[in-house]
Structure 1
Amino acid sequence: MGMVLVSHSQARVRTHDKCAPLLPLPMMLQRNVLSDSAPILLSILLLFQNLTISSNQSDGSDGEVLLKFKASLDNPAALDTWAGPTAPCSGWKGVLCGQGRVWGLQLEGMGLHGAIDVETLAQLPGLRSLSFKNNDFEGALPNLTRHRSLKTVYLSNNKFSGEISDWAFSGMNSLKKLHLENNKFSGTIPATLTTAPRLIELALQDNVFEGEIPNFEQEGLKNFNVSNNRLVGQIPRSLSRLDASSFSGNDDLCGEPLEACPANYDGPTKYDYHDDRIRHHKFPETTIAVVAILLGAALIALLGVCIFLICRKKKSHQETAPAATAAAAAAPATEDLNQMERGGESAAPGGSEGGKPSVRLLTFLKEDSEKFDMQELLRASAEVLGGGVFGSTYKAGLNGKKMVVKRFKHMNQVSKEEFNEHMRRLGRMSHRNVQPIVAFYYKKEEKLLVTAFAENVSLAARLHGNQMSDHQSLDWTTRLKIVKGVAKGLLYLHNELPSLTPAHGHLKASNVLLDAAFTPLLTDYGLIPIINKEQAEESMVAYKSPEYKETGKLTKKTDVWCFGYLILEILTRKDSGVEQQADVDLATWVETAVANESSGYVAGAAVFDQEMAGGRHSQVEMMKLLRIGLSCCEADVEKRPEMKDVAEKVEEIKEREFDDDFYSSYASESDMLSSRGLSEDFRSINI
């Protein structure tokens, strides 16, 4: 009775054949000629076809752009082959083409100088590679952010100089190879290079970069060289696998693969970055004398301050009330947040100078989002939505707009710079099934994340919140929509955050929000790097996975395991038991129920939530989804499917209902036995 699902690759081939474009006239004539066996006419037609295609594909606009770029150079004569009437793809030196369009420029060792007009080159839509190495270009690094599709950039052996902005490579998600060696770049290594997910080569040697090496976590980064710079500090653990020559010529670097850092090493001081004389030269005696005099003067000044404070203390009782008022006005945001958490409006005074300390500034991650300051947020009417191990969540009303503020108290293991950078990285997420982070607030003891409010609250509340006055059960169509949306959002996070393992890390029903149309929105994603390890192990879903219990390590498939339990929870409306570490978890219960199912019903029908009711065809589709969920719950990571495969299989599940009979004998009981072993044959599930 069963049939085998067509694999994804087969489906693509069939679709391609079915939807093949109409052939151009010369090609159609070519087929007729073949059937008539006329070789001479065939040769003529093939020549005509090639000339036609070449003429059509050679876009004149590419030539105009390149000629404009040529004119911007100080010595355009070096590109003497760039001239009409020929097209760029017909002999222009250094122009790389594919299918009649320019995809790369390889202008190497041509003595070119001046500035690289990247604004003009941005008009080449197919540009993927730039190589200007071994020339005489100088000045600052060209602005490459307009070229986010570039895969390779070679600017080595020129005369570029100056500091490179931290945001110079923002959004360049396609960048694979970057060569800037043998120039005069200075300042710190741009932090946005650590967010280029596909980076495999980075050559920065023979410059004057200073500061510490950022933490590069890209798994594909194989060739990395920062030798002969002025870098200091400990080499990040993620780069310790590289050869020592990649770091040579930086006297103040330590850690694997170089010599170990001193036991009392506490990082470089500000002098390490700028003035080697402080480390390598003795101070002259006159300098020592001047320092001694200055210290003596400082002690005298300090004594004077102490006397002044003692005299002023006598008057302090007269100023108690004003001082208390000022202190209240300058109180840290923590007290106001405590007030909000108790369900009332913040007591923060509006408009007073004491109410605007720098620590209250919100950092916004979306340029198009409506801005508000910390004072407005603290004065907003608040409603506590819930509390958890990480902190509290509450809803705030701002100018008619509802926002959600999450207060975290267990993020003390990262510095402010690391936290800010990670938040900006998460702030770039943009997908219809991922809840964007609007703004954040940093304080050493606690942090705030601000997002928009979802009208239908969380999936957990809809599945288990019977206390809700407006509670309505979720039917099969809605639940399938939610599962498909979660799969898409999770796959997006895996693609956009390839260096995070796992990309979400805390996937559960309460972290899936639902908007007014029941579109799922993933939240609390990507937090593992900034949550304290002890708290994460105790509370985050990823740390309950079989692989972490067995090996102490998380993998990209840990999110798949979490997703599997979420699917089962959605279909059965039973708590997964993962966080509570129940004796019998949901996957085991489902397997047992299916194995004990009496004949005469669809295997496993009794495990489904009866409020999800659907017809016979829907019941079969539910069974397919149940199998997918169980395969994701596979304890063996090697047998567990990849997220990409899971998303594809989920997308194939149908929504339509054809029969009102909930139970059916369509499938046999044997279809569901050993469900958790299905992942080995995941691409050909029998249904």
Structure 2
Amino acid sequence: MDSPAFLLVFFLLPMFLCFPGGAPDLEADRAALLAFQAAVGRGELSWDASTTPCSWVGVKCDGGRVTGIRLPATRLVGQIPAGTLGNLTALQVVSLRLNALSGPLPPDLVGCKELRIVFLQGNRFSGEIPAGLFSLDKLVLLNLAINSFTGGISPGFNNLTHLETLYLERNQLSGEIPDLDLPKLVQFNVSFNPLNGSIPAGLRRMSSDAFLGTGLCGVPLGACSPTREKSKLSGGAIAGIAIGAVVGFLIVAFLLVILCRRGGGSKRAAKAEAPRKSAEAPRMSAASEMALRGSGAVGNENGLPAEAVYLSRYGKSLVYLKPGEKVYDLEDLLRASAEVLGKGTTGTTYKAMLETGMVVAVKRLKDFNLPEEEFREKVKAIGAMDHQNLVPLHAFYCSKDEKLLVYDYIPMGSLSSILHGESSSFSYSVFMFFF
């Protein structure tokens, strides 16, 4: 063996390995994205395989690598296979919200060590939240809301020490919430999951809206009932309870038979009157309920209930700007309790709490004299925008005299408080408005 040549190779090989392989890495990113397009794009993603992926719609590159995918409400359908997103090792931001993606999250997401922001809400993902997700310790924002995830909330979330936002509402997560210690967490929601037990100490600083529709108790909800020790019953006591239950059931059944016989005449009269009452009922539903709501709603002439009474006479409906499931309609909005968030030169903004517990922001425009068709075109153009500093616009209502815009409700305070009083949360607000 030629000793000088061997030594030359020995010393130069590590130097070649240290140089970044930009082109091969970008080619690997292209292959992963094309596999993603073939699996869930279904003709909706018009990516040209002959061009660089950095020029594709919804794809962002930095330093010759794919670092961002933003494809909200683009009609993606199906299950994300392994070997697609997980191979994008430089990925930092992924937004696939409001699509029809299903199945479990791809297990190879663990390879995306640079991930910071993940928006997957409004899809059909199922199964347990994969444990590999808890190794992505750079995550700042994770939104898995409005899916079908099952299982419990893992203590592995404690590994995400940089997490500022965690949204898990409207899934099928069950059991107790573990003791989560996430000091940077400022936004949290597990509403409408079959959870139970006491809210852990690390989450008691959150608003009660974060725990609606669950079996949880403790601060900030009502106090938990004291634990009762279960007494052991003897066989005789159990037999006595069973006999008493049977006797009580027979007595109640006997009384019901007597009451039914005596009330036969009045029951027939009630049946004859029922069709007339049911025919009158729809006239009272939306208008009367909104007009009579007193608690939690605004009662003056500028309040949302008065406008809802007016709108209910016209029979129009909300126009949704994004495809996907419509979790509420105009009648749900009319029945919502509302409070004024603020007034400006363009109109008044309300916080509307729907009967399902969902909260939206409603903007009532004033002095808007645009023709209806031109107004609809402008609103649809706004709804198509997907930017860091914009709150998503979901729907709008338009009639001759009333125009409403329905947005996500962002409980971050006013612009004045962000600019002058709560500077620590400003950067996070920008993140929320971006998506």
TM range (shorter): 0.3 to 0.5
The structure with more radius of gyration = 1
More strand per residue: 1 or 2? 2
TM-score by length of 2: 0.45
TM-score by length of 1: 0.29
